[in-house]
């Protein structure tokens, strides 16, 4: 199950809706909604998450939370380590090989470490007449 799927299931139940009811309202099949809740489909689009939020009456923080969870809910993660250090590549592979065996406390510790990292912005490329790259 994905973080998005687990949260969606709780929110849907709190709203007193079945999968079939919510699926009908957001115009997807009940099978697709079930697959999303069980983590058997890729992360939903932003548009679909907005539809779900509207149908469940989610606003502000609850809506932002669900959008954030959707971004962290691709059940088939691919990590491209091209251009990274050998140590970073080794770490990505070790995590992939051992993720199913990590105890919850270790997973929580890893999340905490990542949460402490400073947020970085993507570099902007300036392309204006008369300006160089950079």
pLDDT at 120 > cutoff 90? no
Q: Distance (Å, rounded) from C-alpha 75 to C-alpha 41?
A: 7
Q: Distance (Å, rounded) from C-alpha 79 to C-alpha 55?
A: 34
Closest to 71 in 3D by CA, of 2, 117, 9: 2
Confidence of residue 134 (pLDDT cuts 50, 70, 90): very low
Output 13-21 pairs: Cβ under 8 A, ≥24 positions apart: 15/56, 15/57, 17/55, 17/56
pLDDT at 132 > cutoff 70? no
Give pLDDT, residue 76: 86
What lies within 8 Å, CB to CB, of 24 at 6+ separation is 30
Q: Please report, for the chain, how many H helices and E strands are present, in that order.
A: 7, 0
Each residue's pLDDT tens digit, 36-49: 999 999 889 999 99
Each residue's pLDDT tens digit, 81-108: 999 999 999 999 999 999 999 999 999 9
Confidence of residue 131 (pLDDT cuts 50, 70, 90): very low
Confidence of residue 74 (pLDDT cuts 50, 70, 90): confident
pLDDT at 127 > cutoff 50? no
């Amino acid at each position: 199950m994905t973080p998005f799927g687990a949260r969606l299931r709780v929110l849907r139940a709190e709203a007193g809706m079945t999968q079939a009811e919510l699926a009908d309202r957001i115009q997807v099949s009940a099978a697709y909604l079930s697959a999303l809740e069980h983590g058997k489909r890729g992360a939903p689009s932003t548009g679909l998450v907005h539809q779900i939020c509207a149908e469940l009456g989610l606003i502000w923080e609850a809506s932002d939370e669900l959008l954030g969870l959707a971004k962290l809910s691709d059940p088939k993660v691919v990590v491209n380590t091209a251009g990274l250090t050998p140590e970073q590549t080794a770490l990505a592979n070790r995590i992939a090989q051992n993720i199913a065996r990590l105890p919850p406390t270790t997973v929580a510790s890893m999340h905490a470490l990542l949460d402490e990292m400073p947020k970085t912005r993507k570099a902007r490329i300036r392309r204006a007449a008369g300006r160089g790259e950079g």
